[in-house]
Structure formats: structure tokens, C-alpha cells
């Protein structure tokens, strides 16, 4: 079984639901991220705010006093830290999510994005290639010793 800790990003940009929507936009632009979890003061996940939410909200209203809570999605899919990675990948693909929040004991502890999955797969491929290269190199060295 894959350790989600090797896939999950633990350092996640979050924002409060009462934050100004333009603070959320600034965080997304400055951090080059497409969305982030919305948490309360106890780090409990209460929603997600994404580029799509912001664009949709800005089309509906020109309210310059809007808060994150006015734009965020509250019906979100999250997973427990001990959850099955295959279930997470399935949720990302079937729902066209870019990321899913990960919780432990009711609190946000990380996020797994499509990019995290791809990076993990790439790392595994590199490690496997290194093992094969080392094994082949070791074998060639041994064969050289016999000559």
C-alpha cells in the first residue's frame, strides 16, 4: 500500500471564510495555485475556493466587499489521511478535481493534487530506473572481475 504521506503536500495555502475575496485572488496569483482549502480558526475544513468559483462569482456580482464565504464551494469531497490512494485518484479523475483535501481527526492536514500524483509516479519511475541501472552496473562490474 502506498504511503499517502509521500504523495500529499502538507504545506497548504489556506484561507478563512471571512477573508476578503481579493485576498484569496491575490494568494492564488502570487502562489501560482488554482484553488485552496477554506478553514475555520481551528483548521477545520469548511470549503474550497477555486479559480472557477472566483470567475463564476465575479460574473454574478460586482460586490467589492465580498468575502470568501460568498464564493467558496461547501459541498466538497475530502479524504482521511489513512484513505486509499486509489480512491483519491478515482475522485480526481471522475470528478475532474484538481485537488482533494486530506483530513485527520477532523482537521485539514494536507492536500493531494493531480500534480502530486504525477510527481510521485515520476519519482517512483526514477527510483526504479536507478535500481535497474545500479543492478546492471554491479553485474557488469562482477563480470569484469571474472575476466
Q: How far apart are CA 91 and CA 45, in angstroms?
A: 18
96 within a domain of the structure (yes/no): yes
Number of structural domains the chain divides into: 1
- Per-residue model confidence as pLDDT tens digits over 34-73: 999 999 988 899 999 999 999 988 888 776 688 999 999 9
The answer to whether 121 and 115 have CB atoms below 8 angstroms apart is no
The pLDDT assigned to 61 comes to: 72
Does residue 92 fall inside a structural domain?
Answer: yes
In a domain, 128, yes or no: no
pTM attached to this predicted model: 0.76
Q: Helix 51-60 and helix 21-31: axis angle, to 10°?
A: 140
- Helices 85-94 and 114-146 sit at what angle, rounded to 10 degrees? 130
pLDDT tens by residue, 102-139: 998 888 999 999 988 888 888 888 777 776 666 666 56
CATH of residue 31's domain is 3.10.580.10
Inside any domain, residue 97? yes
Mean of the per-residue pLDDT values of the chain: 84
The yes-or-no verdict on residue 141 having pLDDT over 60 is no
Question: Average pLDDT in the 17-43 region?
Answer: 93
| Residue 119, domain member (yes or no) | no
Any domain includes 33: yes
Residue 131 forms part of a structural domain: no
Q: Which of 15-29, 71-85, 104-118, 128-142 has the highest mean pLDDT?
A: 15-29
Residue 140 is assigned to a structural domain of this protein: no
> Which residues, including other chains, have CB under 8 Å from residue 71's CB and lie 6 or more apart?
21, 24, 49, 53, 54, 56, 57
Coil, helix or strand for 109? strand
User: Is the pLDDT at 3 greater than 70, yes or no?
Assistant: no
94: containing domain: 12-113
Q: Please state, in angstroms and rounded to a whole number, the distance separating the CA atoms of residues 10 and 85.
A: 16
pLDDT of residue 147: 46
Amino acid at each position: 500500500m502506498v504511503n499517502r504521506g509521500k504523495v500529499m503536500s502538507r504545506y497548504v495555502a489556506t484561507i478563512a471564510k471571512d477573508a476578503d475575496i481579493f485576498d484569496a485572488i491575490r494568494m492564488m496569483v502570487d502562489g501560482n495555485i488554482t484553488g485552496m482549502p477554506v478553514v475555520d480558526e481551528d483548521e477545520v475544513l469548511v470549503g474550497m475556493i477555486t479559480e472557477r468559483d472566483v470567475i463564476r462569482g465575479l460574473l454574478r456580482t460586482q460586490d467589492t466587499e465580498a468575502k470568501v464565504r460568498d464564493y467558496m464551494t461547501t459541498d466538497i469531497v475530502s479524504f482521511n489521511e489513512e484513505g486509499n490512494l486509489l480512491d483519491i485518484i478515482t475522485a480526481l479523475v471522475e470528478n475532474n478535481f484538481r485537488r482533494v483535501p486530506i483530513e485527520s481527526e477532523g482537521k485539514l492536514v494536507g492536500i493531494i493534487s493531480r500534480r502530486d500524483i504525477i510527481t510521485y509516479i515520476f519519482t517512483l519511475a526514477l527510483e526504479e530506473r536507478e535500481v535497474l541501472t545500479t543492478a546492471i552496473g554491479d553485474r557488469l562490474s562482477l563480470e569484469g572481475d571474472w575476466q
